[in-house]
C-alpha cells in the first residue's frame, strides 16, 4: 500500500511538471518571441503598437485580478483547482489558435483574441501554482518549484525550435502558423496534468444551504484579516508586488525591446528567446537549490541583483544594430536571473505562511501578482508612447524617437526591480528548515 501511494505521488508530481512544459510555449511564442512583435509591427505598427500591446496585457490582467481571488477561494474549499485549470487552459488554447486569423490592420480582433487567450493563461496559473502544495512538502518545495520552472523553460525551447524550423526551411513561411503550433503544443502537454495530478489537501466544504459565492467572499475576507497578523508575509507581498512589476514588464516587452533597439528579425528574436529559456532553466534549478539550502529571500535577492545589472548594461550597448551579440549576452544573464526569481518567489509563501493557511496566503499573493501584471505593462507602454511623442515633437526623427522612448521604458523596469529588491532586503530571513515567523 505504501509503495502504491509513493508511486501515485511521484506520478502526480511528474505530471504537474508537464503543465509548465506546455504553458511555456504560450509564454515563449505569444508573449516573448512572435505575437508581441507581430502585433506591434504588422497588426498595428510603430509606437502605437507598443502602447496598444501594453493596454491589451493590462486589460487581461485586470480581468484576472477581479476573478482570481474569488475563483481561488472557491477552489480551496471545493477542490476545484483542476477543474478551473482545465477550463482556463481551454480558453487560452482556443483563442491562441484563433490568432491565426489576425492579419495586418485587424487591431480589434488582434487585441480581443489575445486578451481572452491571456486571461486563460494567467488565470490558469493561479490554479497550477496552487497545486504546488499538493505535489511537494515544505522541505522540497523550492527544488520542485525550480525544477518545474526549468522543465517549463525546456518546453519553451522545444516549441520555439518547432516554429523556427519551417521559418528557416520554407520561404515566406506565414508567421501566423506559429500560433496554431503553440495552441497544439500547450494542450497536448497539459493532458498529463489534467489526468494524473491529485489534489491531496482536504476540502473544508461549506455549510449546507450557503451559496458558493457567499462562502468565497467570507473566506477571502478571513484571508485578508489573517495576512495582517503576519507582518513578514505582508512586507514580502509589497516587495513582490513591486519587483514582479519589473519582471512582467521585461517578459511582456522583451521582443519589442530587441526589435526596436537592435532591429532583430523574427528569426533572431526566436534565437534570443531560446537562449533566454536555456539559461533560465539553469537559473531556476540553481536558485531553487539555494532557496532550500539557505532561504528563498537570499535566492531572490541574488537573482534580482544579476537581473538589474544585466538590464542596466543595455544602456551601454550602441543601438546601431552592430552589437547584437552583446545584446544576446545580456539576454542570457537576464534569462538566468529572471527565471530564478520567478521560480523561487512562489515557494517563499510556504516559508513565510503558517502551515494551516498556506493555500489561503498563496491566493492572497496571487492577487498581488495579478495587480503587478496590470500596472507594469501599462507603465511601460504608456511611458514609451508618450516619450516617443515628446521626442518627435522636438524634432527627432521617428526611428530615433521610438528608440529613445523605449529606453525610458527600460528605465522604468529598473526602477521597479531596484525598489522591490530593496524592500525584500528588509523581510526577515526564513528557511524551509526553520519555523515560520511574523506573528
pLDDT tens by residue, 337-370: 988 887 788 677 767 777 666 666 766 776 666 6
Query: Residue 436: what pLDDT?
Result: 43
Dist. CA 201–CA 79, nearest whole Å:
8
pLDDT exceeds cutoff 50 at 439: no
Q: Per-residue confidence at 16, pLDDT binned at 50, 70, 90?
A: very high
User: What is the SS3 string spanning 97-140?
Assistant: HHHHHCCCCCHHHHHHHHHHHHHHHHHHHHHHHHHHHHCCCCCC
Backbone angles phi, psi at 337, to 5 degrees: -80, -35
Q: Name the more confident of 272 and 204.
A: 272
At residue 372 the predicted structure's pLDDT band, cuts being 50, 70 and 90, is low
Average pLDDT over residues 262-287: 84
CA gap 366, 124 in Å, rounded: 11
Rounded mean pLDDT of 303-325? Answer: 83
Average pLDDT over residues 197-224: 71
Q: Rounded mean pLDDT of the chain?
A: 84
Instruction: Report yes or no on whether pTM surpasses 0.85.
Output: no
Taking domain 2-199+214-425, whether its CATH number is 1.20.1250.20 is answered by yes
Dist CA 298 CA 237 (whole Å): 16
- The whole-angstrom separation of Cα 281 and Cα 44 is 33
Residue 25: which residues within 8 A CB-CB, separation 6 or more? 155, 156, 158, 159, 182, 185, 186, 189
Please give the pLDDT value at position 438.
40
Measured distance CA(297)–CA(379) in Å, rounded: 27
Greater confidence (76 vs 47) lies with 47
* Residue 394 DSSP one-character state: T
* Structure confidence at residue 371 (pLDDT): 59
Cell of 178: 506559429
- Report whether pLDDT(259) > 60: yes
**Confidence band, pLDDT 50/70/90 cuts, at residue 153:** confident
Over range 125-132, report the average pLDDT. Answer: 82
- Lowest-pLDDT range of 26-30, 155-159, 226-230, 233-237: 226-230
Helix-, strand-, coil-residue percentages of the chain, each rounded to 5: 85, 0, 15
* Residue 115 reports pLDDT greater than 90: yes
Distances 361 to 31, 211, 233, 322, 426 between C-alpha atoms, Å: 28, 23, 9, 48, 20
C-alpha cell at 269: 528574436
> Burial letters for 269-283: b for 16+ Cβ neighbours within 10 Å, e otherwise?
bbbbbbbbbbbbbbb
Radius of gyration of the chain (CA): 21
What average pLDDT does the segment 368-379 reach? Answer: 71
Amino acid at each position: 500500500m505504501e509503495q502504491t501511494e509513493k508511486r501515485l505521488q511521484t506520478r502526480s508530481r511528474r505530471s504537474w511538471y508537464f503543465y509548465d512544459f506546455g504553458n511555456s510555449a504560450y509564454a515563449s511564442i505569444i508573449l516573448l518571441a512572435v505575437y508581441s512583435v507581430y502585433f506591434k509591427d504588422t497588426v498595428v505598427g510603430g509606437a502605437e503598437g507598443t502602447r496598444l500591446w501594453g493596454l491589451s496585457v493590462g486589460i487581461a490582467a485586470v480581468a484576472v485580478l477581479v476573478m482570481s481571488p474569488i475563483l481561488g477561494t472557491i477552489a480551496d474549499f471545493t477542490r476545484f483547482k483542476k477543474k478551473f485549470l482545465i477550463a482556463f487552459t481551454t480558453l487560452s488554447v482556443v483563442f491562441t489558435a484563433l490568432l491565426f486569423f489576425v492579419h495586418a490592420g485587424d487591431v480589434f480582433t488582434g487585441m480581443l483574441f489575445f486578451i481572452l487567450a491571456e486571461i486563460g493563461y494567467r488565470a490558469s496559473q493561479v490554479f497550477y501554482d496552487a497545486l504546488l502544495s499538493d505535489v511537494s512538502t515544505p522541505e522540497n518545495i523550492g527544488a520542485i518549484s525550480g525544477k518545474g520552472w526549468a522543465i517549463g523553460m525546456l518546453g519553451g525551447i522545444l516549441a520555439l525550435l518547432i516554429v523556427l524550423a519551417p521559418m528557416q526551411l520554407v520561404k515566406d513561411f506565414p508567421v501566423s502558423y506559429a500560433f496554431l503550433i503553440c495552441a497544439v503544443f500547450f494542450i497536448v502537454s497539459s493532458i498529463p496534468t489534467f489526468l494524473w495530478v491529485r489534489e491531496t489537501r482536504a476540502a473544508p466544504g461549506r455549510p449546507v444551504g450557503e451559496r458558493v459565492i457567499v462562502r468565497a467572499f467570507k473566506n477571502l475576507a478571513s484571508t485578508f484579516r489573517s495576512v495582517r497578523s503576519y507582518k513578514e508575509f505582508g512586507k514580502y507581498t509589497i516587495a513582490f508586488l513591486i519587483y514582479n512589476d519589473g519582471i512582467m514588464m521585461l517578459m511582456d516587452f522583451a521582443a519589442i525591446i530587441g526589435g526596436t533597439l537592435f532591429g532583430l528579425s523574427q528569426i533572431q528574436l526566436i534565437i534570443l528567446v531560446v537562449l533566454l529559456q536555456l539559461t533560465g532553466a539553469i537559473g531556476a534549478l540553481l536558485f531553487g537549490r539555494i532557496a532550500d539550502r539557505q532561504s528563498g529571500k537570499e535566492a531572490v535577492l541574488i537573482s534580482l541583483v544579476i537581473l538589474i545589472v544585466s538590464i542596466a548594461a543595455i544602456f551601454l550597448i550602441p543601438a546601431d544594430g552592430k552589437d547584437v551579440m552583446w545584446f544576446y549576452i545580456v539576454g542570457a544573464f537576464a534569462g538566468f536571473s529572471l527565471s530564478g526569481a520567478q521560480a523561487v518567489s512562489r515557494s517563499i509563501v510556504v516559508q513565510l505562511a503558517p502551515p494551516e493557511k498556506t493555500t489561503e496566503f498563496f491566493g492572497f499573493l496571487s492577487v498581488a501578482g495579478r495587480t503587478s501584471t496590470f500596472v507594469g505593462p501599462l507603465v511601460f507602454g504608456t511611458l514609451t508612447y508618450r516619450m516617443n511623442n515628446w521626442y518627435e515633437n522636438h524634432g527627432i526623427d521617428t526611428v530615433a524617437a521610438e528608440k529613445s522612448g523605449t529606453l525610458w521604458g527600460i528605465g522604468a523596469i529598473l526602477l521597479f526591480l531596484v525598489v522591490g529588491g530593496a524592500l525584500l532586503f528588509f523581510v526577515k530571513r526564513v528557511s524551509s528548515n526553520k519555523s515560520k515567523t511574523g506573528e
